[in-house]
């Protein structure tokens, strides 16, 4: 079944409307018609199975058949903070895959060694929205504006678990082993650095604020691969 997004304001008492780009995709690309069943999310944690009742020039009117709470969502809320990369397509890939894996928030992170210190916020949010629908999630990850490393670290007290992968971390701190010691954690923050990695000063600052340095294995990973690997361990199966 095809998935669509509807603004929460368009969902009222058993009825919902699909408008804008979502409606154009529904009607022009997928050529849906009255009587077809669709899945619609409000991006806030609810998924609706609905049937299309009518289509006009501007929107589709649907009747809600079933409502699901947090369908296909992990029990842990994970924030991924990742540095913009020299090749923007690699960050696009990371945002898409992080959304598929269940991340709730994405923060482009400016570090000392970040080369590309700008990012198109709206483009990343659209990528997250497309990935949310593709994988059947009902929570749209929030993509924040660029945030500096020291600002984020200093304001990270709300997270129960804070992880920072680093290539020189001992294998005794492998992420799989670390997660075994935190079976009931409900919120986590993962920091992923730029191509040149985190500086020693950044690692010290993170440690001072309660971040746990972790290993992702013996091989050096690209930033986007490190993000996917870390998220798989933190979110996977939960």
- CATH number, domain of 93, equals 3.40.1280.10
96-126 pLDDT, tens digit each: 999 999 999 999 999 999 998 888 889 999 9
Shared domain check, 87 and 103: yes
The residue from 11, 44, 69 where one domain ends is 69
Shared domain check, 82 and 36: no
Residue (of 136, 121, 118) closest to 2 by Cα position: 136
Instruction: Tell me the pTM.
Output: 0.92
Distance between CA atoms of residues 191 and 36, nearest Å: 43
How many domains, in total, are found in the chain? Answer: 2
CATH number at residue 50: 2.40.240.20
Shared domain check, 224 and 176: yes
Contact yes or no for 160/79 (Cβ under 8 A): no
pLDDT recorded at residue 119 = 81
- What is the enclosing helix (H) or strand (E) of 46? strand 46-55
Shared domain check, 115 and 133: yes
Token digits of residue 35: 């009587």
**Residue 34 vs residue 120, higher pLDDT:** 34
- Domain extent, residue 188, equals 77-235
| pLDDT classification of 236: cutoffs 50, 70, 90 | confident
pLDDT recorded at residue 168 = 80
């Amino acid at each position: 079944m095809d998935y669509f997004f509807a603004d929460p304001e368009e969902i009222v008492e058993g009825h919902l409307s699909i408008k804008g780009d979502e409606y154009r995709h529904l009607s022009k690309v997928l050529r849906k018609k009255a009587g077809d069943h669709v899945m619609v999310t409000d991006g806030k944690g609810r998924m609706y199975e609905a049937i299309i009742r009518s289509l006009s020039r501007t929107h589709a009117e649907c009747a809600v058949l079933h409502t699901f709470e947090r369908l296909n969502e992990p029990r842990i809320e994970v924030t991924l903070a990742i540095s913009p990369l020299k090749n923007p397509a690699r960050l696009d890939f990371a945002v898409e895959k992080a959304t598929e894996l269940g991340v709730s928030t994405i923060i482009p992170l400016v570090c000392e060694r970040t080369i590309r210190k700008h990012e198109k916020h709206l483009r990343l949010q659209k990528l997250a929205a497309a990935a949310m629908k593709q994988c059947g999630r009902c929570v749209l990850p929030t993509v924040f504006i660029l945030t500096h490393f020291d600002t984020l670290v200093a304001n990270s007290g709300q997270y129960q678990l804070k992880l920072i992968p680093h290539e020189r971390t001992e294998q005794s701190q492998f992420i799989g082993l670390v997660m075994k010691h935190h079976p009931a954690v409900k919120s986590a923050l993962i920091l992923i650095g730029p191509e040149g990695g985190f500086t020693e000063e950044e690692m010290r600052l993170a440690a001072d604020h309660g971040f746990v340095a972790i290993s992702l294995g013996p091989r050096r990973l690209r930033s986007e691969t490190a993000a996917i690997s870390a998220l798989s361990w933190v979110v996977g199966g939960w």
